[in-house]
A and B are shown apart, each in its own frame.
Chain A
Amino acid sequence: MNRSAEQQQLNPLREGLSTRAVPQPCSIVIFGATGDLTHRKLIPALYNLAADGELPPAVAIIGFARRPKSDDDFRKEMEEAVRKFSRQAVRDEIWKTFSQSLFYHQSEFGDEAGYKSLAERLEKTDTERGTRGNRLFYFAAGPDQFETILKNLKTAGLNRAKEGSWARVIIEKPFGTDLASARELNRIVNDAFEESQTFRIDHFLGKETAQNILVLRFANAIFEPLWNTRYIDHLEITAAETLGVEARAGYYETAGALRDMVQNHLIQLLCLVAMEPPTDLRADSIRDEKVKVVRSLRRIVGSEVAKSVVRAQYAEGAIGGQPVPGYRQEKGVDPKSMTETYVALRINIDNWRWADVPVYMRVGKRLPKSATEISVHFKKAPAVLFNKETVKIDQNVLVIRIQPDEGISLRMLAKIPGTSLRIEPVKMDFHYGTSFGKASPEAYERLLLDAMSGDATLFARRDEVEEAWTFIDPIEEAWHTKNDAPELYFYPAGSWGPEAADDLLARDGHAWRRL
């Protein structure tokens, strides 16, 4: 049971209410308060929580950044951001109250005195606003700043909470660039905060459909008996986006699609689809099962990389009829860059449930449309009676759409009305937007609330992150050897990737699902 539910049990007035328990009062300190993430996601998410009445009655949000700024300047900036990026329209009355909980703390990340004054300010806030010594530190700064911030938090004693209070840290990806750096980062984090205080955020897990995967699998009796190698032919996971590298060239050049998307988001989705049923819904019970999936991923090493992984980069092309430059022509990108903007993988999960069920993953920028989905392709019915003609198509496919247009669809075969016997695939479709009028909260809203409540279910644990790197590292290694490095393919922007990615599936008699 998560802490929020425990709290609810202790408060008799909570019984039967459809809203979750409000987290304990706390101060939220955002490092990197002038950055894009704070403007676009964090403050709008906190505002929406306030508007929905889900923030604790006593809360203080303290932006920590280098630029000199007053509380009022910060509030004005944040108001603009919220008006621009909030899921729901800003109400002046709510903003007025909410903005009074916003503060700005100016300091260099490396300035020890800045943390000392932060500690004093937090103490004062506890007294003035009733935040009770609870602190949530959100690292929205670049990963190169993490170590400095953590060390200074520790020196100022902010990593330890007083008795009866808590201190937690939320870390944004990337969680390292390989296993060694991830371990080092984890060592640094755990040197200041214990694992139970550490929340590694993966916003994909905050999405309603990602959370619904477990409900779909374990709340419906019809799927789980079929969810294994006996009935499933293969799985596909696609994360496609039309956007190019935009303003992230500096980061992307050192990361690439494999590190940026596969190591975290896609492996996390795969875990939810492939994990065994947990013993209960506690955070660690779920994460125990997830990490077993990552451990079971067959490592792709040496010459296997060229056979099982396709990397590619977008060249000049067009998106929605508009010409767009190639990756190497983008601002901030090395004209000879070998960074992959597309990757397709054929993965095996070596466990009892998934033996001989290939998993195909693809992720790419500048693809014809933005869509993230998981498709479960069931084995074909025997090619007798009705299926002699339809043997070439996937008969039953269950599609879980993560974004956009979240929902689930099931493809099956049906007879075309008429006197002759003709069979065509039809689709049963469930759309969140159509079925449930209420708009889903943004992933960051859910995740911030969970962190405030101490519920780590939707956050990645240290061993999950490190195991994922043990899978990714040999692929990166193979790509960066001087001799016989697997080829980097090119695909025109606006296409579905290189032919080599199609061949990856064609070799097994499969094809990518048409999106």
Chain B
Amino acid sequence: MPAAAETYSLGAPVEIGKIEQELKKLWQEGEGAITRASLMNLAAYSEQPGSLNDNTQLMAKITEDHACRAIVIEADCPSEENRVDAWISAHCHVSHTGNKQVCSEQISFLLKGGCTTQLPSIILSNLDSDLPFYLWWQGELHDPMDAQLWEWVDRFIYDSHDWKNFPAQMALVETAQREAKQRLVLCDLNWTRLDNLRFALAQFFDHPASHHRLAKVSKVQIDFAPAFRSTSLLFVGWLAAQLDWKIDAVKSSRELRFTETAGQHIDVELREHDGQPVHGVTLTSGDVEFGVTYANCGDLLEVSRVQTGEKRIPQLLPAGNNDPVDLISEELIRGGPHHVYLNALNCVRDLL
């Protein structure tokens, strides 16, 4: 029976061949007014020991806002054993209208040995039909990847922040993209982390009177936390791609120089210190400074435009959170490809 209160348990163990039957039973035995809902298949794959429980907790939270069939997989690749264990469970939440329980089902797998060979068959035989398939890959990717799997994936979610060797990992992702016969959208959570910052900076330039400021940017300062250099570089890549800047010189690990189409130089300073992944951006254009920085409360951004002689009126905007549930949720409400991401990436690929 679907649990009314969230328990975060893996649920009932099931035989691999009987998963669909057992799921059917799960819903038939449910008591009270519940609705099974599913908008997508969301599979989370990890090789981290203990990830099955961690991801179950994450799925419990994600399904509050995104009804889906959750498929959680923990792989113990080096294991000499070759077996698969499976469980089924449900995540039930009172709907936003408050009058019914909306439930998502979860199928959990523990793979031992032969991960890459087992993965496609495990996933493909347990997808809810006719719904998009989002694959959330946690950690590093392996070579070779299975081409059969990529043909089914609609959105491939990863966090490039976790990668030790960006070029090698990105090459694997791009191979997967080429192998997919349908459109495979790449969703980098390291890019999603920048959504609110990008929005906060972009809104300064919505007014036509401020467009000319973009052509006069001379200096950019970015403050980032240790281990989030790649995130800050993606932000620089975004500015460069959108404003048509070309990299001119890498003066040091913290100083870059770009040139815009008219030949003006833009100096970019990357400053590392404790705080949010990217906790502040200042863009100087002529005598105006556009600033975005985290407010003290931590989940709001304070934005301000300062010009000589003008009163500074700070505004607060949502900052989002840097936790996986928020990042995934942000990604799941999107549609369409991330070509802006790919353009940004290409601008700073050699620096990552």
Contact = CB atoms under 8 A, between A and B. Distances in A.
B249 interface: no
Interface in B101-140: 102
A7 B205 CA distance: 9
Nearest to B330: A18
Interface string A421-439: 0000000000101111111
Contact of A164 (B209, B242, B340): B209
A433 B96 CA distance: 6
B180 to A, nearest CB: 21
A393 to B, nearest CB: 25
Given A11-B202, A16-B338, A53-B200, A25 B333 contact: no
A51 B318 contact: yes
Interface stretch (A128-136, A279-287, A379-387): A128-136
A317 B339 CA distance: 61
Interface stretch (B18-26, B62-70, B164-172, B272-280): B62-70
B49 to A, nearest CB: 31
B65 A438 contact: yes
A17 B37 CA distance: 28
A97 B314 contact: yes
B310 interface: yes
A437 B242 contact: no
A10 B208 contact: yes
A21 B242 contact: no
Given A57-B203, A94-B316, A437-B96, A16 B339 contact: yes
A57 B198 contact: no
A15 B315 contact: no
A52 interface: yes
A437 B67 contact: yes
B313 A437 contact: no
B315 A433 contact: no
A133 to B, nearest CB: 11
A437 B64 contact: yes
A214 interface: no
Contact of B206 (A7, A51, A94, A437): A7
Contacts of A52: 318
A8 B334 CA distance: 18
Contacts of A238: none
What bracket does the count of chain A residues touching chain B fall in? 35 or more
Contact of A17 (B97, B202, B315, B318): B202
Contacts of B8: none
A13 interface: yes
Given A22-B206, A434-B35, A57 B242 contact: no
Contacts of A405: 97, 99
B305 A57 contact: yes
A11 B211 contact: yes
Given A22-B203, A94-B300, A94-B316, A7 B311 contact: no
Contacts of B95: 431, 433-434
A11 B96 contact: no
A93 to B, nearest CB: 6
Contacts of B300: 91, 93-94
Contacts of A438: 65, 333
A93 B295 contact: yes
B16 interface: no
A130 B204 CA distance: 12
A16 to B, nearest CB: 3
Interface in B306-334: 310-311, 313-318, 329, 333-334
Contacts of B334: 18
Interface centre among A22, A52, A128, A405 (most CB of B within 10 A): A22
A426 B303 CA distance: 53
Contacts, number: 111
A16 B35 CA distance: 34
B243 interface: yes
Interface string A38-56: 0000000000001111001
B37 A132 contact: no
A437 B333 CA distance: 9
A24 interface: yes
A128 B195 CA distance: 30
A504 B285 CA distance: 69
Given A13-B198, A53-B318, A130-B313, A25 B207 contact: yes
A435 B39 CA distance: 6
Interface in A1-38: 7-8, 10-19, 21-25
A436 B68 CA distance: 11
A132 B305 CA distance: 15
Nearest to B37: A434
B5 interface: no
Contacts of B310: 130
A58 B304 CA distance: 10
Given A11-B211, A16-B340, A437-B67, A404 B97 contact: yes
B35 A97 contact: no
A19 B199 contact: yes
Interface string A190-233: 00000000000000000000000000000000000000000000
A59 B257 CA distance: 36
Nearest to A128: B311
Nearest to A453: B206
B333 A434 contact: no
Contacts of B195: 17-18
Contact of A435 (B67, B311, B329): B67
Nearest to A7: B206
Given A21-B206, A438-B333, A97 B315 contact: yes
B263 to A, nearest CB: 19
B201 interface: yes
Interface string A90-112: 01011001000000000000000
Contacts of A132: 207, 209
Contact of A97 (B208, B316, B339, B341): B316
Interface centre among B64, B99, B239, B340 (most CB of A within 10 A): B340
Contacts of A164: 209
B302 to A, nearest CB: 9
Given A10-B211, A11-B205, A433 B200 contact: no
B338 A14 contact: no
A447 B84 CA distance: 53
A487 to B, nearest CB: 39
Interface in A220-268: none
A439 B316 contact: no
Contacts of B311: 128-129
B199 A17 contact: yes
Contact of B97 (A21, A97, A433): A433
Contacts of A13: 198, 201-202, 205, 214, 239, 242-243
15 contacts: A13-B239, A16-B339, A22-B206, A56-B206, A91-B300, A93-B295, A97-B316, A129-B313, A433-B102, A434-B37, A435-B37, A436-B39, A437-B66, A437-B67, A438-B333
Interface of B: 35, 37, 39, 64-67, 95-97, 99-100, 102, 195-196, 198-209, 211, 214, 239, 242-243, 295, 297, 300, 303, 305, 310-311, 313-318, 329, 333-334, 338-341
7 nearest A-B residue pairs (beta carbon): A437-B65, A16-B340, A13-B202, A53-B317, A12-B242, A22-B203, A433-B97
Given A11-B211, A57-B204, 18 more contacts: A12-B243, A13-B205, A13-B214, A15-B340, A24-B207, A51-B318, A57-B203, A57-B305, A93-B295, A94-B300, A97-B314, A97-B315, A132-B207, A405-B99, A435-B37, A436-B39, A437-B67, A437-B96
